Amino acid sequence: MEEKQIGSIQSVKNALKMIESIGELQPVGVSELSRHVGLPKSSVQRALTTLGNAGWIKQLPDDQSRWQLTTVMLAISLMAFGEHSLVELADPAMRELQQRTGETIHLISLDGDSGLILHRVDSEHTVRTFVPVGTRSPLHATAAGQAMLAFMPPETTDEILRRSLGSFTEQTVTDPAVLIERLEVVRERGYAVNVAEWRREVASISCAIRAAHGAVVGALTISIPLSRFSESLVPLYGSWLKELTESITPISSRRV
């Protein structure tokens, strides 16, 4: 009986090690993961199937041989706040930002190599932007994504930008060298600006939410119909974003 218990505990440890490694390497295949965790490929494959069936990980839609984390990890990480989730912490700042700008405000979190829209405070304008909560967004083609990429560890940013970057509109930038230059600008002024790079009729301004130790935990975004967007708004909206995002940052020093 004791041997079975020891074996079960070791299996749990192996599964947790694999989840951590998938988060670090994703998207990752069986061979690479096997080398990283030091387990036979057959054992890794069985564990991946189990974790996949449980909803913790999933295969890439265009490459069934590689795996990535699902949003289950995000949901559990948000529970680390106790009664206060990242959504609850960000909501007052989002509502204040909506009142000042009159535009829709989104809260975005990292979800592997994509953004995940966690929360939205809608504009009261008849013509307004709309993206459903739960939508995944490309990091390289959105203001939120570029704001987060700018403050990630350089090796993580480089790895993401080395992958195939999709084009969504005529304005989408897919050249890694150009994107790296843009991220330098984001770091200097503290916010990112995107004009019709992901959705043709939408402009956005975004600021990364960072923990006290500097890790990126998400981003706040002002989402504006292109018909109402003007470059003259950018400095003011950018300053408001930085101000209100900083009001979240000291609290977000707790693990997310």
Output the 3-class SS for the chain.
CHHHHHHHHHHHHHHHHHHHHHHHHCCEEHHHHHHHHCCCHHHHHHHHHHHHHCCCEEEECCEEEEEEECCHHHHHHHHHHCCCCHHHHHHHHHHHHHHHHCCEEEEEEEECCEEEEEEEECCCCCCCCCCCCCCEEECCCCHHHHHHHHCCCHHHHHHHHHCCCCCCCCCCCCCHHHHHHHHHHHHHHCCEEEECCCCCCEEEEEEEEECCCCCEEEEEEEEEEHHHCCHHHHHHHHHHHHHHHHCCCCHHHCCC
Whose tokens are 């490929």? That residue is 41
Q: State the pTM of this model.
A: 0.67
Structure confidence by residue, pLDDT tens digits, 105-115: 999 988 778 89
| pLDDT tens digits, 122-149 | 999 999 998 888 888 999 999 999 999 9
Mean pLDDT of 244-250: 77
In angstroms, the CA 242 to CA 97 distance is 11
pLDDT in tens, 30-60: 999 999 889 999 989 998 999 988 888 888 8
Q: Are 22 and 68 in contact (CB under 8 A)?
A: yes
End-to-end CA distance of the chain: 37
Could you give the CA distance from residue 206 to residue 184 in angstroms, rounded to a whole number?
Answer: 15
Residues 2-69, CATH architecture: Orthogonal Bundle (1.10)
pLDDT at 246: 87
Whether the per-residue pLDDT at 221 is higher than 80: the answer is yes
Query: Which token pair is 193?
Result: 């600006």
Place of tokens 């009664």: 83
Question: What is the CATH T-level fold of the domain 75-253, as seen in this structure?
Answer: Beta-Lactamase (3.30.450)
* pLDDT, greater one: 108 or 26: 108
pLDDT of residue 11: 77
Kindly report, residue by residue over 71-85, the tens digit of the pLDDT.
676 556 555 543 347
pLDDT number for residue 255: 35
Domain spans of the chain?
2-69, 75-253
